[in-house]
Structure 1
Amino acid sequence: MTGLSKRTETFTDSVIRRMTRVSLKYQAVNLSQGFPDWDPPAKLTARLAEIAAYGPHQYSITWGAQNFREALAKKQTHFTGLDIDPNTEIVTTCGGTEAMMTAVMSVTDPGDKVIVFSPFYENYGADAILCSAEPIYVSLTPPAYTFDAAELERAFQQHPKALILCNPSNPCGKVFTRDELQIIADLAEKYDTWVITDEVYEHIVYEPYENIYFATLPHMRERTISCGSLSKTYSITGWRLGYVIARPEVIEVARKVHDFLTVGAAAPLQEAAVTALSFDDSYYDWLKQHYTKKRELLLNGLREIGLPHTEPQGAYYVMVDISAFGFASDEEFCETLAEKVGVGAVPGSAFFHEDNNDYLRLHFAKNDDTLNEALTRLADIYKKMPVHRK
């Protein structure tokens, strides 16, 4: 038989999703894959129930139902201050994952280079490779996850077609400062580079930090391709509703890519989601308070146990330093953690381009009972986890 695709040889299945299966295997509390264990807002599910009876149930417009795009444009205009045209500057996608793939495919050709900050959400490197582009990795240095401006410029000097910016960041919870974003913007303008932003955690930011939309920086709207999702904001990760927002000339290409990738996002779910997109500011204030409490619950518990960790500025992930346990492999550590302690986590090496086995990622998008049970189990970690020597 003739060979299979070579472009897929350098990456595996999703480590994040694999760790959910490991958690199920050992009946561990799953703090690996980032989805909540509570219901979406009641108004949203009530509207979905109505639509189940009355529709729509057929294809919507390929690039998104008209009322969905109008509601999304109004909501994003409110938060960004940018006047977004629902008819020329939006394409609705099957989740943020497809949004990112659509964006990368819309601006890159085989052999182009794409800058990716490390650590990174595991899909980014794969997105570039599937587009036959070459990722250039720039380090974010723990524990503050700052970048070196000189290293970043050396990456730009390789004339990449795009830079991928996740802000707030998965997995490390970093929220980029205005000064950091301006450095990126200045280099993008100097080297004529697209900036593809992943903003799925836009509304999950903790005091005193502030989410700054990259497209709002001077001269950046023209070269920014903003990708987002409703998954995290409205607790509907299974609905797979995402979007790309960019200038009309970019969206014209993105619509064609999207059309042949998935045809269109689910029409009934778009119709229901209009309800959520119309929520007033009180919902987003509640969301911030909700996650702030969960963040403190988990961080306080980790402090009491004595597990060193980062304090996320945004998103809902915590990086835990496991270097003291001495395991040669963080994947082995996480498998043992699920089996012996009963808590599921993601090995940090899934996110780092660098050779790094010192971290795991936990998430706190869980009910308090779930988080407390995980902390109760983690309290015995030093007793139950064997110490290895590297």
Structure 2
Amino acid sequence: MSVAQPEGRLVHLGIGNFARAHTLLATQRASGWSVVAFTGRSAAMAEALTAQDGRYGLIVRGPEDDEVEVIDVIEAVHPASEVEELVALLADPLTAVVTLTITEKGYTAGSDPAVSVPARLAAGLRARREAGVEEPLALVSCDNLTGNGVVLREAVLAAADEDTRAWAADHVDVISTMVDRITPAAGEGAAELVRERTGLDDTVPVVTEPFSEWVIEDAFRGRRPEWEKAGAQLVEDVGVHELRKLRLLNGAHTLMAYAGQVAGCERVDEAIAHPEVRALVEALWSEARSTLPLPADELDAYTAALEERFRNPRLADHLIRIAADGTVKLPVRALPVIAERGGPAQAPGEVAAVAAWTAWVTDRVRGGHEVADPRAEDIAAAAAEGTADRDRVVALLGLLGVGAGDPLVEAVLAEEPRLPRP
């Protein structure tokens, strides 16, 4: 019996847990497409999945029970070092889409395909051009960074030769997306659960949450999987959805990470269940929503889904992990909302997020604990024992780019004592 020819081939770069819980699942549900995947830095995943004929178990961890299914959309998996295989695949007209989950560091431009993903793609595009392929190719970034398609386009074109850059304008679409699905480490018992439920002897199972969101820029000129079958949204502008996620999901996570720990909580589900922390989250959401040009019912549904995710005790994330890198996160998550609202007096929820950070890092430093942050040494100096409160807050807010005379300084000083404590 002959095997049906797939509608197209999708090549995926960076075959980690997130891709297997999100983008590859959506591609399987779209049906009709084969997938060839490449690993990131390590070849271990290629070896494990090849031994399982590309199949793996996906565990969706709900509040009360798990759903388990086998994903078998992968045709082959290669280590990243097999650059010639990737180039040959990109030169094949059957390949119509390349998706990427390579983390932000993977977009570093460079000319050496051995170490640079953009350089590998540039080499593949050159081979496709030289083979005379007219079928458009879409490069789809699925990494969690703002304007990921723009970042990808610039990195690939910087690594490409002049003829390929000119050819790409008519033959290559670079697509931005917004992705969201929590995929924690599988942990003990996951492999046994897959075996019990499906019979698959799986050494690399994936655990994820029930919620999943994929917003995709609708700018494809060629073939693509019907990801809509898996719930993906095709939109003209991904930017507003990125902003919604940044200010509502990431903003609430940041607030809970600091205010929750100050209040004595350790996990997200504990923080959202704490009445006073929950009230701060509600205030932050109200303020952030007013800055988003989206319908109220859509925002209602989104925050309701967020609360359900936060309350899931079987997928609870630890606040200490989320608390890392506050000097990077607060300037993009909280400060813009304060400015757009007209100042600290109009954004008490966002002020609470900043005050919770200053209070938390102060507690950490004075308790002899490290703070995971690129400015950790500066934080430690600013929060040292004996520093007057105003000097401490001025110094800490200075690390966020806030001047000593900014009204936010006094607002944070006033808010710190009001934060919930154990």
Structure showing the higher helix proportion among its residues: 2
Report which structure shows greater RCO (CA 8 Å, sep ≥6): 1
Structure of greater Rg = 2
Q: What TM-score, normalized to structure 1?
A: 0.32
Q: What TM-score, normalized to structure 2?
A: 0.30
